Every structure is written in structure tokens, then in C-alpha cells.
Amino acid sequence: MEASRNTHSSKFFGTDGITVRFGGLTALKDVSIGVGENEIRGLIGPNGAGKTTFFNVVTSYIPADSGDIFFQGESISHFKPNEIAERGIIRTFQRRGILPDLTALENVMTGCHRLMGDVRLWDICFRSKRYKLEEAEAIRRAKEALESVGILDIAEKGAEDLAFGQQTLVEIARSLVSNPKLLLLDEPAAGLSPSEREHLMGVLRMIASERGISLIIADHVMEFVMEICDNLTVLNFGEVLAEGSPTHIRQHKGVLEAYLGGGG
Amino acid sequence: MKGSRSKYMIQAGFLILLFCIPLVTNNYEQYIINLIFVNFLVCLGLAIILGFSGQFAFASAGFLGVGAYTAGLFMVRLGISYWPALLLSGFVTLVIAVLLATIGLRLRRYYLAITTISFTLCMRFFYVNAGKLTLGPSGFNIPHATLFGFNFNTDHRVYYIVLVVVLLFSVLSWNILRSKIGRAFMAIRDDEEAAAAASIDVKKYKLLAFAICGVLGGIAGGLYTQVLGRITPDEFGMLPILLHFVIVVLGGLGSFFGLMIATIIVTIIPELIRAFVEFQELLYGAIIVLIILVAPGGIYGLMLKYSPIRWREKLHGSVEKYS
């Protein structure tokens, strides 16, 4: 056991024995996952298996009761959410964390925040040249990100008027604009039409292969996850049930039981 | 390019119009207009903290009071001139706002609302009871501001101080709100967790919203001394809390233009019903209920809904300028 923990901490991203309890309920139990560079990892499991809880712990929205999280050799379990984002771990939300009152472009521009460090309050108040340059740069990056996910044409639309699938892409574009190293996507395919799903798959493959970003995708939609992921981790009642390639998982007995309710 | 030129022409014309207002007003009308400008500035502070950053902080009346008493007491007690006193009122209120924020950031929603309202009422008790410092419940007269021998001793003259200062701080606020700071505020208001995921430091920006609200309230307080000529603790009690809230809600939370119109309406109404001044609170309450029932988005919401121009793009399309 100890040996396997050490291998995870030396990986690109890894968790070591994460345990989270909500009162009497153990939401995550001794979860150790290691993800390599450029890897697309699927995180699957029935409802309530702990997928979103896992994301919440990694991005520090809720504290782990025990265990540790490593990113590029550094322990990040004591950082605040925005500090974790600053290190390049960006997440999306199941409920779509878009900002309804802003346009799609402005939504994506909020993602530039960590790259916009040089401008001071003074620059902003008096619209200094430095401010204008930086704002123009943020707009350029945001447009580029919108284009790379294929929705540049809706840049000026209010985000709340967008279709759910477009909101998903806006959120992904916002994640991309800050040059992340690891993206955590919470149910990106949920509620999408088959053609939107197809488009999303192309976008995610591009992100991994062209930009060299690692992905962890938590989702219910099996054929989506099976097709796009290099490896899968199956959670069940907060525990890692199985780990391996999609073909391996497809034939895994315990997984079939958990999903089909094999009553075993 | 042509479009931006006509925009500058409109802005210049509007400015000239503002500077010409005193030519056509009598003293009383000018006094009301001065009041509108001061109310606009302090409500802008409340709109930023409540409407843009989404914190239920009703401290604007408290900040107004701190600003007014700072300027007033420095002038009366220490005999310093108005201009440094005005700066001090902004600075002292900034410090108080940051102190209040250190408590406020730990609280949310109703608890924050109760705490900030208590702050305002406590300050009023302080003005009333700390008579040795604050000259007690009956307040005190404020000396007129002077500049190179020019005495700002009429409402028409005071207007120019008010106009310049309010314009300056409005432009600064506008610039702040249409920058990454404004986007961060709205991100925090809409979804704190998503904001943090975009690496926005939620606490830092909430503190900044408090600070901006404090400075605007404090400066407005400093101007208030010249507009009123005399300040009493009652100017900074429960009624102004309500007044500012009504203005911000009527304007539509988080909108600049709606706020302007709302300030004008709500400042003028009590003057029209002078005979029934005891019913002011009742009226404010009725306005709030009516807005929530009829137009929850306030004036800004109505503009979005009924105007032929697409206001959202106009007001929020901050980006086309530099691209």
C-alpha cells in the first residue's frame, strides 16, 4: 500500500488516500488516483459515488479529513481554491459556472484573471496605456479560446441566453484561456444532444493533444467517456472500485454489478 | 470612428448642460439638484457593494455619516480648510470601511445586513451621545468652503464643487466597473465558487468592494456638509439607509444609468409631498414592494425589456473599444 502511494505522489497529478466524511457518511474513502501528463482520465460511477466530492476536495472547496493531494511534485492540499486555480488546475461545474449577466466573451475574460497581474488599481481608474494593452490582450486570448471551441460567433451574446451546450463550451473556453495544466470537467456531456456531444469530444481531444493539457472527466454518459478517455477510474460508494483502460473496465465484473445492480 | 466622434460630442454637450444648470434654477431647486448629486455618489457605493459584488451590506448611510462628521469636525474643531477635510473624509471612511469589512467578510446575507445596519445606527448613537467630540444631538454648522478668496456660500456655488467631485468619482467608478475588477465583482455575485475557479481571490475583491463603497460614501459625506450647511445625527440614521436602498433597487441592481434616473426620482418625491413628511418611510417601503412586484429588474430591467436598443450590448459590451 505504502509503495503505491509513493508512485502517485511522484506522478503529474495524484491523490494519496483521500478520505472525506459528512457526519456519519463517508463520501470518499482512501481514494488514491494518479494521472499522467497529457492523459485523459475518466471518473465514472453511479450517482452519489463521490465524483463531484472528489473534484471539490481537489480544488479545495471542501477539506479532506485525511490524505494528501500532489500536483507536479508539490502538495497542494492546504491551498485556497483560487490559489489552486493559479497553479493551473481549473475545474468546471455540473451546474455550469457561467456568469449570466456577462456576455460569452466577458465570461471567458474572467478566466484571464490569473494572467492579468501587472495592472494596478491606478491603471484601471485612469485607463492607462498598460491597462488598455492588457485588456486588449485579454480580449485577444478570450476570442482565441472561443474560436478553438468553435463558438466565436456567439461572443457578444449574453451568457444566460445561450443554449446549455453553448454554456458548456463557454465554460471550457474560460478554463482554456488561463493556460491550465489540468482540467477537471464535471459532467460536460450531461444534457447535450448527440451532435453537441460529438463536437465536445473533438474539442476535448484537441485540448489534450494540441495543448498538452491533462483532463479528468467525470460523467455519466458511458459511450462518451468510454470513447474519449485513455483510462478510467470507477468510484462506488466513495471507494475506487476499478481502474484501467476502457476495454478492461467494460469487462470488469464489479463494475457491471455496481451499474446493473447485480445484487452480488 | 465616426460613431465614437459623435459619442464624444454627446458627452461634451451633456457636460456643458450640467455646467449650465445653475443659470436656470432658483436656490431651492439648486439645493435639490445638489442633493441629487450627493445621493447619486453614495448610492453608487451601495450599488457597487450590493448590486455588483452581491454583498448585503447596508453601510452606505454609515459611511456617509462618517465622511460628513470627519469633514465637519476637522473644519470646526481644528479649523483646517475644506479641501484637505474633504480628502480626510474619504480617507477616514476608507479605513473604517476596511475595518468593518474584516468583520463583514466572515458574514453572509442577513447576518451581514444586520451587522452593517447596526454599524450605521451605532454611529448615529455615537454622534448623539459623544457630545464632547461630536457636539451632540443638535449637530453643528459647517463653515463655507473657500478657494483663493472665492466663497462657496450659495447653493449655486456649492453646485460646482459637487459637480466636479461627483463627476470625477463617477468616472473612476465607471472605469473600475468596466474593467477586470467589475467582472470579478459580478463573478463573485453570480457564483462565488465559479469565481474562485477562475482564480479570482473572492475575499480580496469583497474587501475592495467595501473599500470603494467606503470612499464613495465618505466623499459624498464630505460634500454633504457643504450642501446642507449644517449636519445633525438624524441625517445618518435609519431613513437614509432606506432611501439609498430604494434608489439602488429602483435603478436596478448593478446598473449605472438606472441608478441616475432612480436617484433623481427618489430624491424629488419627498420634496413634492413635503406636507406628509412623516409618511416618507411608508412611501419608501411601498416603492420597494411595488418594484419587486412589478419590475424586479428596476429601471434597468425595464430598459432591457422594452427599449428598442439592445441595452445589454450597449451597457455591458465593454470590450469592443479596445479590440
Among B242, B251, B245, B253, smallest CA distance to B185 is for B253
Distance CA A198, CA A194 (A): 6
Pairing status of strand A214-218 against strand A182-186: parallel
Across the interface, which of B183, B193, B319 has its CB nearest the CB of A97?
B193
Q: Does residue B296 belong to any structural domain of this protein?
A: no
The dihedrals phi and psi of A35, each to the nearest 5 degrees, come to -125, 130
The CATH architecture to which A2-88+180-260 belongs is: 3-Layer(aba) Sandwich (3.40)
Contact B317 A111 (CB under 8 A): no
Q: Does residue B74 belong to any structural domain of this protein?
A: yes
Distance CA B241, CA B235 (A): 10
B156 pLDDT more than 80: yes
| Structure confidence at residue B317 (pLDDT) | 40
Cell of A52: 463531484
Distance CA A237, CA A28 (A): 7
Contact B180 A119 (CB under 8 A): yes
Sorted by sequence, the CB contacts under 8 Å of residue A28 that are 6+ apart come out as A18, A19, A20, A50, A53, A54, A57, A64, A238
Contact B197 A102 (CB under 8 A): no
| Structure confidence at residue A22 (pLDDT) | 87
| Structure confidence at residue A5 (pLDDT) | 46
Contact B316 A102 (CB under 8 A): yes
Among A158, A146, A72, A65, smallest CA distance to A112 is for A146
Domain containing B149 equals 27-236
- Cα nearest neighbour of A172 on chain B: B198
| Model pLDDT for residues A128-174, shown as the tens digit of each residue | 788 888 888 888 888 888 988 888 888 888 788 888 888 888 988 98
A132 contacts chain B (CB < 8 A)? yes
* Amino acid at position B244, single letter: H
Distance CA B218, CA B242 (A): 18
| Model pLDDT for residues B98-151, shown as the tens digit of each residue | 999 888 788 877 888 889 999 999 998 888 888 777 887 888 888 887 888 788
Distance CA B112, CA B267 (A): 27
| Model pLDDT for residues B48-76, shown as the tens digit of each residue | 998 888 888 888 899 999 999 999 999 88
For residue A31, the SS3 value is strand
Per-residue pLDDT band for B270 (boundaries 50, 70, 90) equals confident
Total length of chain B: 323
Contact B317 A99 (CB under 8 A): no
Per-residue pLDDT band for B309 (boundaries 50, 70, 90) equals low
Contact B319 A109 (CB under 8 A): yes
- Chain A segment 99-118 residues within 8 A of B by beta carbon are 99-103, 105-106, 109-114, 116
CB pairs below 8 Å between A and B: how many?
A: 111
> What is the total count of domains within chain B?
1
Q: Does residue B165 belong to any structural domain of this protein?
A: yes
Cell of B75: 473644519
Name the β-bridge partners of A103. Answer: A158
Q: Does residue B196 belong to any structural domain of this protein?
A: yes
Q: Distance (Å) from the C-alpha of residue A23 to the closest C-alpha of chain B?
A: 23
- Chain A segment 203-262 residues within 8 A of B by beta carbon are none
